[in-house]
Amino acid sequence: MAPAAEDQSTPAVVVERREHALWARLARPARGNACGPDTIAGLRAWLAEGRSPQYPGLRALVLTGSGSSFCAGADMRVGAQYLDDPAALARYIRAGRDLVDAIAANPLPVVAAVNGVAFAGGFELVQAADIVIAARGARLGDAHARHGVVPGWGSSARLPRLVGPKVAAQLLLTGTDLDAETWHRLGLVSQVVEPDELGRAVDDVVAQLPADAATRSRLLRLSRDNAGGSLDAALAREWQELNDHLNEPGFLDGVRRFLS
């Protein structure tokens, strides 16, 4: 059975360039910005646009929501149509999982500007981001346990690495959501700001990211790769990146600026 079409009167995802970042705003506030097929396709297009020559000089991609929600997760009104076809339901969930994985592997840093609630799949979108800036009052959590299901977009793999296995186990098993300030203390949220300062705070962080693409890429790769695994492996990766960078003109230019 084909899923019901989303409202076509407005795009599911609104993309715009702001200074050094390409922003994607989820634009289905009446549905809590839940991710149906149109939203997934819109975010895929946003990722592709971020790699396009039409947007030179980008330093980051930014994902945010509209209304009182960042993202309520997968649109289960779509998923409900597949209850008699588990294989089709798995394909629908997999499309969202592939999107989240693509965000996590994007060559540009991804910033989640969490304007409101982020539950289940929306919470998994947040976990895939490199930097998370949240509005005070936003609530985030993996709500799958409340509905007797397991995550499908990566929460059980990423959350233990982000906040530790014991905290993650409790939150995954109970489906508890927490406020932005608590997630900041746990290390998932980078910064908490007043709601009317969210856009400005994101712009400020993006402006501080390295303009040099090679430096930015190396630091991003190390940050991602060294988030898990052994310390020895992480140190080896850093040393290898440094030695590769030593042979590039940009490294010596950076040393000169540091010494000046």
Residue 25, SS3 per DSSP: strand
Number of domains in the chain: 2
First to last CA, the chain: 65
Report residues of the chain scoring pLDDT below 50. Answer: 1-6
Residues 132, 234, 99, 57, CA torsion sign: positive
Verify that 109 and 74 share a domain, yes or no.
yes
Question: What does the alpha-carbon distance between residue 163 and residue 57 come to, in Å, rounded to a whole number?
Answer: 33
Q: What is the pTM of this model?
A: 0.88
From 165, 185, 208, the end of a domain falls on: 208
Does residue 94 fall inside a structural domain? yes
Verify that 94 and 156 share a domain, yes or no.
yes
